[in-house]
């Protein structure tokens, strides 16, 4: 058996757009500049929807923020969709020690009577503004060593552009979901008669890709029984 031996299939946005137009009955020779303008807008709107629908694992990265004594609020990059896990790293004992901190809501943070209380941070509040911030409590303070806030965040998918054969920032497993989703959105503009039929295919392709977009670590849940025994 002879196979290619390669793993380089990564069509550019232009190729995916042409394929999606073919799926709605628009031949490549009929594609005009206005078709491409619609495709660019539809692509980025769809990627914004994907950011809202769940955690895109390929867009998760680790951010490190040096903590400053008596500073409780720190800026967050505006491309951040959500903060997943956060911890404080300190070298107060001569070696790096990581301690998890937990998220709280705006209401819970507002309930704290002394928001300037010093101590080792145990919680964080992610304020999802246009220019977002993260606030930690208690307020960090140490006279020795350094402390860092580290958090895993989901960032938005990079913009999709048609120039210079650029690719879409999605992994191989999501190519079909992307093409089917784009075909549905383009059909709503250029061939509404078939849009409803294409939505089912787009939803199915997304569901298949999303089912694989998960971590495979085992999870254990056990009841707390200690209260029943003396």
**Cα separation, 85 vs 35, whole angstroms:** 41
Supply the mean pLDDT for the chain. 93
Instruction: Specify the pTM.
Output: 0.87
Residue 20 lies in a domain: no
Residue pointed to by tokens 């350094």: 146
> Looking at residue 223, what is its pLDDT?
66
Cβ atoms 157, 166 nearer than 8 A: no
pLDDT at 224 over 80: no
Q: What is the pLDDT of residues 61-87, one digit of tens each?
A: 999 999 999 999 999 999 999 999 999
Mean pLDDT confidence for 149-171: 95
Mean pLDDT confidence for 138-161: 93
Residue 195 lies in a domain: no
> Looking at residue 227, what is its pLDDT?
52
- Of 54 and 160, the structure prediction assigns the larger pLDDT to 160
> Looking at residue 91, what is its pLDDT?
86
Mean pLDDT confidence for 186-208: 96
Residue 144 lies in a domain: yes
Checking 200-209 for CB contacts under 8 A at 24+ apart, the result is 202/177, 204/180, 205/176, 205/177, 205/179, 205/180, 205/181, 206/53, 206/177, 206/180, 206/181, 208/176, 208/177, 209/173, 209/174, 209/176, 209/177
Look up the domain containing 70 and give its range.
57-155
C-alpha 154 chain-centroid distance: 3
Residue 88 lies in a domain: yes
Number of domains the chain is built from? 1
Residue 79 lies in a domain: yes
pLDDT at 121 over 70: yes
**What distances in angstroms separate CA 18 from CA 65, 102, 158, 172, 175, one per listed residue?**
43, 46, 21, 18, 14
> Looking at residue 226, what is its pLDDT?
53
pLDDT band at 144 (very low <50, low <70, confident <90, very high): confident
Residue pointed to by tokens 């004992």: 93
Mean pLDDT confidence for 136-147: 90
């Amino acid at each position: 058996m002879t196979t290619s031996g390669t793993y380089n299939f990564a069509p550019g946005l232009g190729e995916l757009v042409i394929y999606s137009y073919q799926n709605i009955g628009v031949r490549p020779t009929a594609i005009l500049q206005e078709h491409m303008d619609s495709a660019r807008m539809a692509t980025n709107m769809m990627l914004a929807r994907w950011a809202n629908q769940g955690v895109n694992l390929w867009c998760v990265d680790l951010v490190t923020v040096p903590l400053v004594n008596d500073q409780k609020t720190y800026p967050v990059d505006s491309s951040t969709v959500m903060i997943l896990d956060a911890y404080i790293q300190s070298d107060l004992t001569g070696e790096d020690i990581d301690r998890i901190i937990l998220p709280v809501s705006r209401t819970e943070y507002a309930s704290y009577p002394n928001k300037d209380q010093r101590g080792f941070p145990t919680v964080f509040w992610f304020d999802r503004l246009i220019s977002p911030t993260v606030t930690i409590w208690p307020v960090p303070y140490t006279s020795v060593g350094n402390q860092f806030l580290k958090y895993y965040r989901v960032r938005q998918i990079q913009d999709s552009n048609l120039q210079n054969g650029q690719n879409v920032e999605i992994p191989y497993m999501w190519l079909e979901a992307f093409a089917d989703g784009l075909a549905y959105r383009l059909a709503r503009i250029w061939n509404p008669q078939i849009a409803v039929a294409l939505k089912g295919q787009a939803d199915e392709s997304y569901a298949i890709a999303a089912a694989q977009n998960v971590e495979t670590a085992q999870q254990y849940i056990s009841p707390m029984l200690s209260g029943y025994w003396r």
